[in-house]
A and B are shown apart, each in its own frame.
Chain A
């Protein structure tokens, strides 16, 4: 079955510290992987995506993620967190085309940033 697991429901980091949000997926075909960020009461903003090629992808706001096929993971990282990064982060997996084109979302990780 297709699924996305975000093991950490809630993470708190200090401003300026590094961040890693975990994401593991289960998908029968070649996955397309996404990280989205959601501020309270807002829609989703795409941070970055992986389709193919270089397994380390750069996104907006200084975020990056690394696709590791052997570990079925797509963890999100940022070297230095800013207070404005406090939000909910969702990992998602999608298929290549047709009926499998739906996105499957993880349960999200809520990031809090301490001053």
Chain B
């Protein structure tokens, strides 16, 4: 299998604080991880592509200073939402890619972020 976990599954934080979301590949080493954002009843929007040991590549329109991505190991990537605001409330989903299957992505269960 190819299992991806996310932690936490849901989080509530106050406006102005930062929150970190973890994405782990449990049974494989992920050379690349992706972070998506999904608004209610909408599709997934790719935020950034994260490669182990290098800086993340952000999609156009995504603020890299607000959404900090760290891919410190082959099994862990983190997304930190800094100085969160209510408009950052969303469903964040990560995915990971195996080096031997370069097209498929394996998705985590998602993290529901609510900023009050």
Contacts and interface: CB of A to CB of B under 8 A. Distances in A.
A44 B34 CA distance: 13
Nearest to A49: B104
B112 A41 contact: yes
Interface stretch (A57-65, A68-76, A96-104): A96-104
Contacts of A105: 43-44
Interface residues on B, range: 20 to 34
Interface of A: 32, 34, 36, 41-46, 49, 51, 90, 94-97, 101-103, 105-108, 110
Q: Mostly helix, strand, loop or mixed at chain B's interface?
A: strand
Contact of B44 (A42, A90, A96): A90
B112 A90 contact: no
Question: What 6 A-B pairs come out closest when comparing CB atoms?
Answer: A44-B107, A43-B109, A43-B107, A107-B43, A105-B43, A32-B103
A41 B6 CA distance: 13
Contacts of B108: 43
B103 A90 contact: no
A107 B44 CA distance: 8
B12 to A, nearest CB: 15
Interface in B32-85: 32, 34, 41-44, 46, 49
